Amino acid sequence: QKEVEQDPGPLSVPEGAIVSLNCTYSNSAFQYFMWYRQYSRKGPELLMYTYSSGNKEDGRFTAQVDKSSKYISLFIRDSQPSDSATYLCAMSPPNSKLTFGKGITLSVRP
Amino acid sequence: DSGVTQTPKHLITATGQRVTLRCSPRSGDLSVYWYQQSLDQGLQFLIQYYNGEERAKGNILERFSAQQFPDLHSELNLSSLELGDSALYFCASSVRDSRSTGELFFGEGSRLTVL
């Protein structure tokens, strides 16, 4: 079993839709959880960062962590064509390297 | 612009050859990480350097090596190239080393095609 599993996609939604992206993990030592966004022909950039279980909101983006279920989600409200990108979840134990999911490609149709 | 610079952006070479990828981290960042990204494997951690010293090793093949120089730039050397080495190679930098978790800043990658 891979340490981090991410829904494979791709995902295509109409503009304005609510998008839910999910990852599961197996390593109980993971304490830091991140979402990176990667536009075509670019490197990943950090979108959301959270440490504890619960929700963290930043504009149209909400990151949710459920450590008891080893499950994290990223919600995008009122999705825009500019949100079209690949989204990668990433996580790590304290003081250790990040492990990334394989990424899911999202396309938001105007 | 993340501030991390990678060269070359694109590289086409033949099997059995050797290439060097170069990375300049963000100003002030002491850690450099190398990742390989392919469609089937996703983003795979290869190796990390902190202030010139190797700090962590991931799924790096013996044919690959890296180093970080006193000016903090890093090079990833790939030798005896195989078709399966074709991938995007990313460099990332951060202020901290692996002893704490911090944001990684990625370059735009070097796309390697082995024919």
Q: Tokens 């930043």 identify what position?
A: A58
Asked if A99 and B45 come within 8 Å (Cβ–Cβ), the reply is yes
- Chain A residue numbers touching B105 (CB-CB < 8 A): 45
Q: What is the pLDDT of residues B94-114, one digit of tens each?
A: 876 655 556 889 999 999 999
Q: What percent of chain A has pLDDT over 90?
A: 77
pLDDT at residue B102, as a whole number? 64
- Chain B residue numbers touching A25 (CB-CB < 8 A): none
Residue closest to B25 by CA, chosen among B95, B82, B80, B103: B95
Query: φ and ψ at A29, to 5 degrees?
Result: -75, -15
Pair of tokens at residue A96: 């250790």
Bridge partners (DSSP) of residue A108 are A13
Strand ranges (E), chain A = 4-6, 11-14, 19-25, 32-38, 45-50, 54-58, 61-66, 71-76, 85-92, 99-100, 104-109
pLDDT, one tens digit for every residue, chain B (115 residues): 889 999 999 999 999 999 999 999 999 899 999 999 988 888 999 999 999 999 889 989 999 999 999 999 999 999 999 999 999 999 999 876 655 556 889 999 999 999 9
Asked if B104 and A96 come within 8 Å (Cβ–Cβ), the reply is no
